[in-house]
Amino acid sequence: MGQLMQAGHISMTDGENAYGYEILQDAFGEDSLVVAVESPRTLYQQGNQFIAIMLTVIAACCTVTLLVVLNLLNRIVVKPVRKLAGEVDGINMDTVAGTLNENNNSRELDGLARSMNGMLVRIQEDRDIIQENSEMFYYNANFDSLTGLRNRFSTARQIDEIIRKAKEARSHVSVFYMDLDRFKVINDTIGPTMGDQFIRAVAERMREHLGDTALLGRMGGDEFIMVQENLKEEIDRQYFVNRITDMFKTAFVVKERELHITASIGAANYPEDGQDAEMLLSNAEIAMYSAKEQGDGLYVSYRKELHSAIQRKIFIENRIREVIHDGCKEFRAFFQPKVHTQTKEIQSCEALIRWMAPDGIIAPMEFIPQAEECGLIVPLTWWMIRESCRQCAAFEKHGIINKVAINISAQVLAHGEFIEVLKQAVRDAGLTMNRVDIEITESTLLDDIERVNEVLSELHLMGVEISIDDFGTGYSSLSYLNKLEVDRIKIDRSFVMEIDAVDEKSAEDNREIVKAILAMAKTMNMVVTAEGVETEAQAAFLQENNCDELQGFLYSRPLPAEEYIAYVLSWKEAHKAMDN
């Protein structure tokens, strides 16, 4: 093998090629072979060339792949999507899904078409839901959910629309405002669920009788609207009202129970009584209130003169609602003593509500009937019961152990929560039940005799005494009262004040009536209180005829709690001195 003696390289001037050489020597040291070898630079250059070629090849491959991919994408995605988009645009959605399937056979397209179909089905479903929701929204915004009649808002809008047409046609529009009589009492007696069913039954009957001919609406509660065109004369309107009142001649059957009711109706007419729905509704309501004032089941047509009195009523109703909402801060309980005729002791008092409105006191005679009519008597009485008990307990701190008598209206007595509220108030005040009496009017006993008697028995068992207020003004006889759980009667003020009337004939007649009441009450072991005692002559007559208790201005007006305490203490003081 030759030995490597020398190695190097020769650069060519063109710089492109360079050749290396190696000189090998044989065993005798002679140069035997010169081998031309490619130099590292050549190799380097050759490497570059190789890389360049490789890169070119790779680039070419990539370009080809890209083209293939793009082509594929175009075929698989872009075209179908464009096609679908084209089909979605304005084409009947129901048929797109089918069309897509038919026209495209590739698997990818099938998949894509399926997911698009799913999407379209969901869009359709959403569209249905939106449609349903907007229909529901429209319904709720315009119709009353209980009766299906138009609600207040939609009734007013329809009336405006009817007026607009009537203006062009120069015709008449009559708006009838109907309110059920004593519905609140019925509602409290039968409970709110049955009350709702009752309202629904009334609406149903309205639809049966007038459905196609009149616009019907419900203003809320037990208030309904009927709108009729072309009732030009009052006689025409009266005829229409007769059709309404006829609806109430047959009893309503709610859960197999027969219920009778009447309705008060007021009417206002376009163009005489108002130019738009708001005015007509308001004036028809005023006419309705006026009808109600005159009794049940009546109809009144609007006149300007009705305005002031009724507006006051509406004002009072709204204010009572506000006062109750604000925690009854404007109400006060006043107390009027009842004096024992023989012993002259004050053993009990009557609690009477007072309304201290910012612009002066409003009398109970003005707002109690109003509160009864609109049902606000219930929360008002709850307050009065609690306040009377609280004050009665406060009297004890001054050594005054009085009973307190609370006035209870018929619908409060019939209210399912009455007994519980009373018990709770007595408990909260730290009193016992025998410290509370209730006063109810005769008419209360006539309402739902079975229910009333149930409540009276329960009150009796609890130790609460029951007085019949304003006795003599109603229709019940004493023997009838005897069958009920009643302990006392209060002879009405109208009889008492006549005892010493100037007209001697009338006075004599009255004295006979009072004597008869007292005599009969005694045979039935009833305690008798005379109310409205104003003169010594009246007191003397009542004492002679064994009336047990006297109440009236002769002794004291109803007083605020602090003044009542002072009055009783000074009364006790005076009678102690007299006894000694």
548 binds, among ligand C2E, Ca ion, none (CB under 5 to 8 A by kind): none
Pattern 403-422, Ca ion, x by CB under 5 A: ----x---------------
455 touching ligand C2E, by CB under 6 A: no
Label residue 191 left, alpha or beta by phi (over 0 means left) and psi (-120 to 50 means alpha). Answer: left
Question: Shortest Cβ distance from residue 508 to Ca ion (Å)?
Answer: 24
Q: How far is the CB of 353 from Ca ion (least distance, A)?
A: 11
Contact 266, 291 (CB under 8 A): yes
Region near Ca ion per CB under 5 A, out of 134-142, 296-304, 467-475, 572-580: 467-475
- Please identify, using beta-carbon distances, which residue of 300 and 376 lies nearer to ligand C2E: 376
**Distance (Å, whole) CA 30 – CA 61:** 55
Cα distance between residue 438 and residue 118, in whole Å: 72
Instruction: Please give the C-alpha separations between residue 523 and each of 327, 478, 546, in angstroms, as whole numbers.
Output: 46, 10, 12
Applying CB under 5 A, does 439 fall inside the site for Ca ion? yes
Question: What amino acid occupies position 472?
Answer: G
Q: Which of 1, 12, 235, 365 binds ligand C2E (CB under 6 A)?
A: 365
Residues 176-235 that bind ligand C2E (CB under 6 A): none
> Which positions ≥6 away from 379 have C-beta within 8 Å?
324
Question: Using CB distances below 5 to 8 A depending on partner kind, what does residue 498 bind out of Ca ion, ligand C2E, none?
Answer: none
The answer to whether 469 contacts Ca ion (rule: CB under 5 A) is yes
Q: By CB under 6 A, is residue 469 in contact with ligand C2E?
A: yes
Task: Number of residues interacting with Ca ion: please give it, by CB under 5 A.
Answer: 4
- As measured in angstroms, the least distance from the Cβ of 286 to ligand C2E is 25
For 390-455, what is the HEC assignment? HHHHHHHCCCCCCEEEEECCHHHHCCCCHHHHHHHHHHHHCCCHHHEEEEEEHHHHHHCHHHHHHH
- With CB cut-offs between 5 and 8 Å by kind, which of ligand C2E, Ca ion, none does residue 553 bind? ligand C2E
- Distance, CA of 480 to CA of 158 (rounded, Å): 53
User: Could you tell me the smallest distance in angstroms from the CB atom of residue 380 to ligand C2E?
Assistant: 7
> Is 188:378 a contact under the CB 8 Å cutoff?
yes
**Please, what is the minimum distance in Å from the beta carbon of residue 506 to ligand C2E?**
18
Q: Is 339 in the site for ligand C2E (CB under 6 A)?
A: no
Q: x/- contact string, 31-70, with ligand C2E (CB under 6 A)? A: ----------------------------------------
| Residue 435 interface partner, choices Ca ion, ligand C2E, none, CB cut-off 5-8 Å depending on type | none
From candidates 2, 221, 297, 364, binder to ligand C2E by CB under 6 A: 364
Report the chain's terminal Cα–Cα distance, integer Å.
Answer: 165
Q: Which residue has the tokens 């009734």?
A: 155
532 binds ligand C2E, rule: CB under 6 A: yes
CB of 500 to ligand C2E, least distance (A): 13
Helix axes 307-325, 377-396, angle to 10 degrees: 60
322 Cβ contact partners less than 8 Å away, ≥ 6 residues apart? none
Q: Which residue has the tokens 């616009």?
A: 215
H or E segment and range at residue 377: helix 377-396
Q: How far is residue 457's CA from residue 442's CA, in Å, rounded to a whole number? A: 17
Tokens of 553: 């201005």
Residue selected from 80, 337, 472, 552 as contacting ligand C2E according to rule CB under 6 A: 552
Shortest Cβ 491–Ca ion spacing (Å): 9
Its sign, for the CA torsion 364, 370, 371, 373, is positive
If one asks whether residue 442 binds Ca ion (CB under 5 A), the answer comes out as no
Residue number with CB closer to ligand C2E (217 or 558): 558
> Can residue 372 be called a binding residue for Ca ion (CB under 5 A)?
no
Helix (H) or strand (E) holding 550, with range, is: strand 549-551
DSSP assignment string, 277-335 = HHHHHHHHHHHHHHHHHT-TT-EEE--GGGHHHHHHHHHHHHHHHHHHHTTSTTEEEEE
SS3 485: coil
From the list Ca ion, ligand C2E, none, which binds 558 (C-beta under 5 to 8 Å, kind-based)? ligand C2E
Residue closer to ligand C2E by CB (options 237, 490) is 490
**Of the candidate residues 352, 389, 422, 517, the single one contacting ligand C2E (CB under 6 A):** 352
Residue 470 contacts Ca ion per CB under 5 A:
yes
Give the range of 64-72, 181-189, 209-217, 362-370 binding ligand C2E by CB under 6 A.
362-370
Provide, rounded to whole angstroms, the least separation between the CB of residue 496 and Ca ion.
Answer: 10
Using a 10 angstrom Cβ sphere, with 0-12 exposed, 13-18 middle and 19 or more buried, the burial of residue 370 is: buried
**Minimum CB distance to ligand C2E smaller for 148 or for 364:** 364
For the CB of residue 554, give the shortest distance to ligand C2E in the complex, in Å.
7
Q: Residue 437, interface with Ca ion (CB under 5 A)? A: no
Note if the bond before 271 is cis, omega within 30 degrees: yes
* Residue 87 interacting with Ca ion (CB under 5 A): no
- Provide the token pair at 434: 């025998």
Nearer to ligand C2E, 472 or 552 (CB): 552
Is there binding between residue 80 and ligand C2E (CB under 6 A)? no
Residue 264 binds which entry of Ca ion, ligand C2E, none, CB below 5-8 Å type-dependent: none
| Least distance CB 208 / Ca ion (angstroms) | 44
| Contact residues: ligand C2E, CB under 6 A | 336, 352-353, 363-365, 368, 381, 384, 407, 409, 439, 469-470, 493, 531-534, 551-553, 558
| Contact residues: Ca ion, CB under 5 A | 407, 439, 469-470
